[in-house]
């Protein structure tokens, strides 16, 4: 049994830190030091569900056992690997502490999310279960990724609910229901008939990869202030209501990410390290703006078209990162294609000869009325470079256009754009070349 001193401060970086919006009871419980039993350990708890009939909705609990080991968690006989645990967070109802545990179920390439609402026997159980699960996940990340402690803690904290409440909305695939309990986290938006349902009726994922249940576009309807979500399989219209501003703020501050970082600790750690590098660059350049202040709308789209607003609504649209991400994705996907790679070698030699011979003409982009803060202009410039390079084989003009892009978009302060233009001309043209083959 560890002492309070051993479990305090830097000796327990994995311990849950209360958040600004936490209930006062959560702050009280998790701001004090605790002693924890060694792993593996089991606890008897209650699994909360809603007993619904035509006249009443009653909360009921089922006795289950939670066992926490160094590499897994067992919920009433269901063994879950630690990389299946999405998050574990506290909440309070009727002035009593509860725990929400979210895990992946189903296939790895098409996971669904399950949610367990746990009622511990006492306050110590609440803190112990939650923190021991966090400790097990933290230890696994440290062992698997050999990263800094701060990064491991950030990985443990990466995903958690951002919004949870009953919301009036219409869902094309669920026409009989007009009110859902909606839970939004970084990865997905889950729709439940009630707060204690384990399996959502619908999930919409905020992934960059295409998929039937991936959010393709988000619109704010100007006339009604409703929020519209579009995916391949369904459309959701969240009505303007009391909590719409809070809900909208969560959506606006979200962003699309590759699904791998949610399911693989190594991918998540690499993402967090890259994000830390971007923050350092932003700090050095004097740009203190929130990198998540705009919402990425073209989650699964593989084409160049930017999802712009219509007369009916305004898109929470991505500002450059998705365009650059599609370039990176195309290059990484096609690098192993022998035909494409061999042709690039020939093209690359021709471009090198033009650069060496100083045959790059002056650029005309500076006088084209381009806005350095407009992603549509950025996209059109890349298309112009691609057309000259791939359709006309005018590598000299492609280099000229690229020089003009550098001059115009030097005024853009976004980390993604600055990082993009730190590459040399050959590297950027290589990305455009591979994008033309995708």
Same domain, residue pair 195 and 341:
no
User: For residues 249 and 394, what is the distance between their CA atoms, to the nearest angstrom?
Assistant: 46
User: For residues 433 and 173, what is the distance between their CA atoms, to the nearest angstrom?
Assistant: 40
Same domain, residue pair 105 and 185:
no
User: Residue 393, by phi and psi: left (phi above 0), alpha (psi -120 to 50) or beta?
Assistant: left
Q: Is residue 1 part of a domain?
A: no
Mean pLDDT, range 403-432, rounded to an integer: 90
Predicted confidence band of residue 279 (pLDDT cuts 50, 70, 90): very low
Sequence-ordered alpha helix ranges (H) in 84-193: 123-145, 149-157
Q: Which of 357, 340, 338 is nearest to 399 (CA)?
A: 357
How confident is the model over 208-233, as pLDDT tens digits? 888 889 988 888 776 788 888 988 88
Q: Which of 9, 43, 198 is nearest to 127 (CA)?
A: 43
pLDDT at 81 over 90: yes
- Percentage of residues in the chain having pLDDT higher than 70: 84
Q: Among 109-118, 261-270, 326-335, which is the least confidently predicted range?
A: 326-335
Give the pLDDT of residue 174.
Answer: 87
Whole-number mean pLDDT of the chain? 82
Same domain, residue pair 368 and 327:
yes
Q: Which residue has the higher pLDDT, 84 or 317?
A: 84
Buried (b) or exposed (e) across 29-56, using 16+ Cβ within 10 A?
Answer: bbeeebebeeeeeebebbbbbbeeeeee
User: For residues 204 and 227, what is the distance between their CA atoms, to the nearest angstrom?
Assistant: 14
Give the pLDDT of residue 300.
Answer: 34
Q: Which two tokens stand for residue 113?
A: 């999310």
- Among the three residues 93, 127, 157, which one is the final residue of a domain in this structure? 157
Q: Is residue 430 part of a domain?
A: yes
User: For residues 362 and 397, what is the distance between their CA atoms, to the nearest angstrom?
Assistant: 9
Same domain, residue pair 247 and 352:
no
Q: Which of 190, 164, 189, 192 is nearest to 179 (CA)?
A: 192
Give the pLDDT of residue 127.
Answer: 94
* Cα distances (angstroms) measured from residue 240 to each of 151, 167, 178, 317: 38, 10, 13, 20
Domain that holds residue 90: 9-157
pLDDT at 388 over 60: yes
pLDDT at 122 over 80: yes
Q: Beta-carbon neighbour count of residue 393 at 10 Å?
A: 12
Q: Which of 69, 55, 251 is nearest to 169 (CA)?
A: 251
SS3 273: helix
SS3 112: strand
Same domain, residue pair 153 and 175:
no
Q: Is residue 346 part of a domain?
A: yes
Predicted confidence band of residue 399 (pLDDT cuts 50, 70, 90): very high
Give the pLDDT of residue 45.
Answer: 95
Q: Which residue has the higher pLDDT, 146 or 308?
A: 146
**Do the Cβ atoms of 373 and 409 come closer than 8 Å?**
no
pLDDT at 311 over 80: no
Q: Is residue 419 part of a domain?
A: yes
Give the pLDDT of residue 367.
Answer: 56
Q: Which two tokens stand for residue 276?
A: 């830390």
The DSSP letter of residue 83 is G
Q: Is residue 2 part of a domain?
A: no
Predicted confidence band of residue 323 (pLDDT cuts 50, 70, 90): confident
Phi, psi for 116 (deg, rounded to 5): -115, 120
Q: Total structural domains in the chain?
A: 3
Q: Which two tokens stand for residue 323?
A: 């365009």
The residue with tokens 């919301």 is 167
User: For residues 240 and 249, what is the distance between their CA atoms, to the nearest angstrom?
Assistant: 13
- CA 328 vs. chain centroid, Å, equals 18
**Cis, peptide link before residue 40, omega less than 30° from 0:** yes
Give the pLDDT of residue 32.
Answer: 79
Q: Which residue has the higher pLDDT, 226 or 53?
A: 226
Give the pLDDT of residue 101.
Answer: 97
Phi, psi for 60 (deg, rounded to 5): -135, 160
The DSSP letter of residue 367 is G
Q: Which residue has the higher pLDDT, 379 or 185?
A: 185
How confident is the model over 327-385, as pLDDT tens digits? 888 877 777 777 888 889 989 999 999 998 888 888 876 655 788 888 888 988 999 99
Same domain, residue pair 390 and 430:
yes
Same domain, residue pair 275 and 342:
no
Q: Is residue 4 part of a domain?
A: no
pLDDT at 21 over 70: yes
Q: Which of 84, 253, 106, 85 is nearest to 184 (CA)?
A: 253
Give the pLDDT of residue 305.
Answer: 28
User: For residues 73 and 81, what is the distance between their CA atoms, to the nearest angstrom?
Assistant: 6
Same domain, residue pair 219 and 340:
no
Same domain, residue pair 166 and 313:
yes
Q: Which two tokens stand for residue 137?
A: 């996940």
Mean pLDDT, range 78-86, rounded to an integer: 92
Q: Is residue 3 part of a domain?
A: no
Mean pLDDT, range 411-424, rounded to an integer: 88
- Among the three residues 157, 180, 197, which one is the final residue of a domain in this structure? 157
- Among the three residues 271, 300, 318, which one is the final residue of a domain in this structure? 318
Same domain, residue pair 144 and 31:
yes
The whole model's pTM is what? 0.65
Mean pLDDT, range 305-331, rounded to an integer: 59
The DSSP letter of residue 390 is I
The DSSP letter of residue 32 is S
Give the pLDDT of residue 371.
Answer: 82
User: For residues 206 and 214, what is the distance between their CA atoms, to the nearest angstrom?
Assistant: 6
Same domain, residue pair 96 and 44:
yes
Return the CATH number at 253: 2.30.29.30
**Do the Cβ atoms of 215 and 197 come closer than 8 Å?**
no
Give the pLDDT of residue 35.
Answer: 83
Predicted confidence band of residue 182 (pLDDT cuts 50, 70, 90): very high
Same domain, residue pair 240 and 139:
no
Give the pLDDT of residue 366.
Answer: 60
Rg (CA), the chain: 25
Which H/E stretch holds residue 428?
Answer: helix 425-437
The DSSP letter of residue 301 is -
How confident is the model over 135-177, as pLDDT tens digits? 999 999 999 999 999 999 999 999 999 999 999 999 998 888 8
Give the pLDDT of residue 110.
Answer: 65
Q: Is residue 304 part of a domain?
A: yes
């Amino acid at each position: 049994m560890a002492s309070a001193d051993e479990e305090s401060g830097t000796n327990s970086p994995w311990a849950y830190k209360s958040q600004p919006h936490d209930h006062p009871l959560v702050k009280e419980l998790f701001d004090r030091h605790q002693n924890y039993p060694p792993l593996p350990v089991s606890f008897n708890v209650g699994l909360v569900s809603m007993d619904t009939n035509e006249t009443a909705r009653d909360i009921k609990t089922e006795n289950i056992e939670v066992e926490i080991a160094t590499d897994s968690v067992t919920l009433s006989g269901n063994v879950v690997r630690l990389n299946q645990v999405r998050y574990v967070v506290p909440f309070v109802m009727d002035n009593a502490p509860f725990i929400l545990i979210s895990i992946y179920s189903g296939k790895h390439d098409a996971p669904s999310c399950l949610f367990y609402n746990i009622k511990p026997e006492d306050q110590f159980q609440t803190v112990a279960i939650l923190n021991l699960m966090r400790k097990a996940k933290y230890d696994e990340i440290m062992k698997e990724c050999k990263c800094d402690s701060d990064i491991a803690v950030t990985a443990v904290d990466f995903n958690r609910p951002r919004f949870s409440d009953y919301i009036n909305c219409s869902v094309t695939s669920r026409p009989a229901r007009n009110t859902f309990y909606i839970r939004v986290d970084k990865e997905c938006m889950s729709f439940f008939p009630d707060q204690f349902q384990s399996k959502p009726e619908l999930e919409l994922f905020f992934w960059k990869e295409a998929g039937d249940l991936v959010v393709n576009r988000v619109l704010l309807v100007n006339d009604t202030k409703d929020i519209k979500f579009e995916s391949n399989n369904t459309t959701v219209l969240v009505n303007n209501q009391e909590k719409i501003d809070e809900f909208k703020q969560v959506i606006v501050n979200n962003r699309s990410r590759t699904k791998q970082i949610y399911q693989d600790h190594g991918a998540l750690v690499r993402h967090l390290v890259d994000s830390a590098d971007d923050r350092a660059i932003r700090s050095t350049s004097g740009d203190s703006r929130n990198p998540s202040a705009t919402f990425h709308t073209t989650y699964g789209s593989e084409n160049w078209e930017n999802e712009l607003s219509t007369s009916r609504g305004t898109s929470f649209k991505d500002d450059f990162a998705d365009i650059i991400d599609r370039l990176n994705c195309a290059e990484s996907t096609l690098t192993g294609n022998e035909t494409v790679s061999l042709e690039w070698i020939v093209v690359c030699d021709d471009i090198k000869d033009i650069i060496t011979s100083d045959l790059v003409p002056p650029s005309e982009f500076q006088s084209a009325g381009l806005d350095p803060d407009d992603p549509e202009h950025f996209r059109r410039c890349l298309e112009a470079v691609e057309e000259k390079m791939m359709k006309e084989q005018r590598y000299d003009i492609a280099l000229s256009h690229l020089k003009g892009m550098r001059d115009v978009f030097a005024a853009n302060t976004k980390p993604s754009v600055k990082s993009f233009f730190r590459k040399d001309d050959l590297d950027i043209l290589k990305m455009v070349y591979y994008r033309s083959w995708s």
